[in-house]
Structure 1
Amino acid sequence: MTAVLTPASAIGGHVQRSADPVEDAVREVFVAHYGQLAGWAAHLVGDRDLGHDVATEAFTRLLSHWERVDDPRPWLFATAANLVRDHWRKRGREAKAYERFQGGRPGPEEALPGPDQAQLLSVREAVEQLPDRLRLPVLLFYFADLSVAEVARQVGRSEGAVKRDLYDARSSLAATLEEAR
């Protein structure tokens, strides 16, 4: 860690300190960023409680990686984005397993004609459809408000490659959303 952090939480008029300076530093980062991270994750997964679970897991992982993390905020958002991606993958696998279980037979809710899927496509769903290489930079740059340099550090690519990924993602999203109109 390049900067020394001090705890920001005060209880009963005095600063709450632990014997572990790492725990104090993580507590300060938690106070500063947990709410935004939890809200961001909740928006991505469409579930407030799951968003809080994702944010909590990201902070748990931060604690165990603290010595190797230069800047906690982008690291937390990248970790949360990976957790969200894992959630989306799991949800996709569960849907496929359910379809196999049904044996291709339509369930009761599938038998009735539903709304036009083109009208239901949201930006979130369009982002979910992006390839992994494009999805994480989009989530970090547009949804977590990280700079191109911070995104490049988190995904392990050059800034030029991240800019190209963002350009490709915008083109793909524009085409997908235009088709849905």
Structure 2
Amino acid sequence: MKHSTENPDICNRDDLVDLLNAFYAQVLNDPIIGFYFTDVVHFSLAEHIPKVADFWTAQLFGSLNYQGRTFETHLALHRHTAITRHHFHRWLHLFSTSIDARYAGVNADALKHRAQTIATSMATALSKQATTLGEAEGIFIPPAIQHQEYSASSRATAFSNCAILVV
């Protein structure tokens, strides 16, 4: 792939932190996957980004600093609120465009390739797991609606008022 001379390559963990800050700024406001980070899991970017930076530093540079359990964390989330292939496609699109906007080079390409491999593998593995709420693939039911009793007609109205987005 031909690389722009305007953008540097990803060279270290600091570059990954920079990338992740830009990426999560998009994710938090994304109409398709943002709800995972704002409505489903409440987390601190100040705590999350260093962990994710350690993960990607391990993936890209072979660092041994990452101590998390990536699949188990996503499985627990999936069991609560289904994570579908559509969600992984959106995540991958935002991640790749964040990389392309800031970086170009061998490491940037390697990071995009590794992200695609991981996303595909995780989406496949999670698709074989049941969710505890039994929600339909690709549908997010806002917490305010999940725990209320509705008649069939009022539930249909509630769903029509929700933005259900599938890529």
Please classify the TM superposition score into its range, dividing by the shorter chain length: 0.3 to 0.5
TM-score, normalised via structure 1 length: 0.33
Structure label with greater radius of gyration = 1
TM-score, normalised via structure 2 length: 0.35
**Structure possessing the higher relative contact order (Cα contacts under 8 Å, 6 or more residues apart):** 2
Structure (1/2) with the larger helix percentage: 1
